[in-house]
Amino acid sequence: MLRHGLYRGMYLLHIFQQHGYKFNEFTKWLAGHWNTILVSVPHLALILAAMVGRYYLEPYFTTTAVAVALFIFSAFWFGSIARFHGSKVKKPLVFTARMKRLTLVFIVLAAWIPLLGTAYAFSIGPLFPDIYILIYVWVLADLLLPWLLFLAAGIVHPLENLVQFRYIRMARNKLQSMSSLKVIAITGSYGKTSTKFLIDAVLKERFRVCTTPGSYNTPMGICKVINHDLQPSDQVLILEMGARYEGNIDELCRIARPDIAVVTNVGIAHLESFGSLEAIARTKGALMQYVKTGGIAVLNGDDPKVRSMAGRKDIDVLFAGLEEEYNHLIARNITYDENGCSFQILLSEQHLFPGEQPAGTKGPEQIVMSHLGEHSVRNALLAAGVGLMAGLRLPTIKVALRKVKPVEHRLELKKQNGVLIIDDAFNSNPIGAKNAISVLCSFESGRKFVVTPGMIELGDRQEEENREFGLWMAKKAPDHIYLIGRQQTEPVYEGLKQGGFDEQRITVVDTLFEANDRLRTELVEGDVVLYENDLPDSYNE
């Protein structure tokens, strides 16, 4: 029971960390697993077995015999820790300073019940402790772990607030001391990280740039970079600003107010936490309110909700996208191959360039990148727009974009044993998922495979959007589709059937690892595999 409790506790800490230490999200997860985590059959069964042993069997069997029987039941129900200690974990528990503080308090709270209970059981009989008290105490201690984790998180919450306040104050003071530093803030429902690294590559052709790594887009992530990575000699700070709830962008901008704002798009990512598309648009649009007077906004002109954000007259606004009707900076003649994509970039003749146009920027210039997808082209146009507004010329931007490698797990093209892998496993969304399928089916050689668990965090539209995703795949007709999670992908399966896709070419598996094992026996040189989305470990069925 001690071994089971330790691994169960570690598992709960892991899930709590994966949900960003958010009480509400962890509560929803617990509610969805109430019959396996909160009140499980093994816990109730062992308590029932102990009660039967005490009140009905003791007149007929010795205490030792009953204890042996209960030990067998305990070993059967609690001996395995496979559920909590799988050998294949996609994102392991990380013992950050915050997690260490939480774990210490959690251990203290969780330890007193079994310790006191065991001491009481042995006080009754040092050589022959009360076996029933031991059973009740240890099962209760194991059963209460989720609630004790809540209590531990509540206890350390004020301390975490103090730590965050200190980090935020340090970051603000440091930015105030660097008056010549230009801050670029990027937000949007998707494409933020890719756009950030494209802007980083473009501006590094002329400036000293500090950029947040990976998907650092929370207050603590941004403060960590400002406090530890930003150097006095840096000229530009590029920040990715993420949001799961209304008010998140305001919180980030109060830490670092931008000179340049970039908005990639407005979509239904995290619709479950936002509640509506309008709330998402308001949250992303809040970034525009914080741009300093005389600053710059570079916006995706193809997205009408993003276009509507350009209401301020005291800043310069540049639109970039594929539709010439709306944009200053456009792309034409997009093509893909196994090396990425190529397209022409140029200024539209329909719109005047905002601000002072650098010499030699009209174009067209032929751009070659190791990225895939139309949304990658839009991201590159946004990066080029920032470069142009910063005074760079298109030939310089062309050189910079050619150097950039795709962001990990975002339509990242790989080759393994003659097989092309399109890794689009990060945070799938309806538009991005459909675009990824189109990219996959644009490859002319080899068979096309899709591995996907569908999409999550889409609120009331999740089932509908997953069904539409299935219909889209049926229309594009890849050769075989692996769906991960029978319950999770049921709407995707329905959409595939509704679209007339051959059910013999659909395989439903329980885990990503099972899909990979099957693919290894099936793939041959020249095949192309798309990994579209990869859910956290907490979503494994």
Residue where a domain stops, chosen among 132, 159, 186: 159
Residue-range definition of the domain harbouring residue 505 = 412-539
Residue-level pLDDT at 49? 86
> Which of 38-47, 67-76, 316-325, 453-462 has the highest mean predicted lDDT (pLDDT)?
316-325
Give dist(CA 407, CA 429) in Å, integer: 16
Give dist(CA 348, CA 328) in Å, integer: 5
Asked if 151 and 183 sit in the same domain, the reply is no
Asked if 449 and 379 sit in the same domain, the reply is no
Asked if 184 and 255 sit in the same domain, the reply is yes
Q: Does the pLDDT at position 141 exceed 60?
A: yes
Burial (CB < 10 A; 0-12, 13-18, 19+), residue 3, is: exposed
Q: Which residues lie closer than 8 Å to 147 by C-beta, 6 or more apart? A: none
Q: Mind listing the pLDDT tens digit for each residue in 154-187?
A: 999 999 999 999 999 999 999 999 999 999 999 9
Give the chain's domain count: 3
Q: Which residues lie closer than 8 Å to 19 by C-beta, 6 or more apart? A: 25, 26, 29, 538
CATH of the domain at 484: 3.90.190.20
Ranges of beta strands (E only) in 338-479 are 340-347, 365-369, 412-416, 419-424, 448-452
CB-based contact 450:437 (threshold 8 Å): yes
**Is beta strand 316-321 parallel, antiparallel or unpaired with respect to 412-416?**
unpaired
Q: Is residue 219 part of a domain?
A: yes
Asked if 102 and 140 sit in the same domain, the reply is yes
pLDDT-derived band at 256, boundaries 50, 70, 90: very high
Give dist(CA 70, CA 60) in Å, integer: 15
| β-sheet bridge partners, residue 329 | 320, 347
> Which of 89-93, 119-123, 205-209, 522-526 has the highest mean predicted lDDT (pLDDT)?
205-209
Residue where a domain stops, chosen among 378, 403, 428: 403
* C-alpha closest to that of 256 among 183, 198, 340: 183
* C-alpha closest to that of 271 among 464, 76, 89: 464
Give dist(CA 96, CA 107) in Å, integer: 16
Asked if 26 and 120 sit in the same domain, the reply is yes
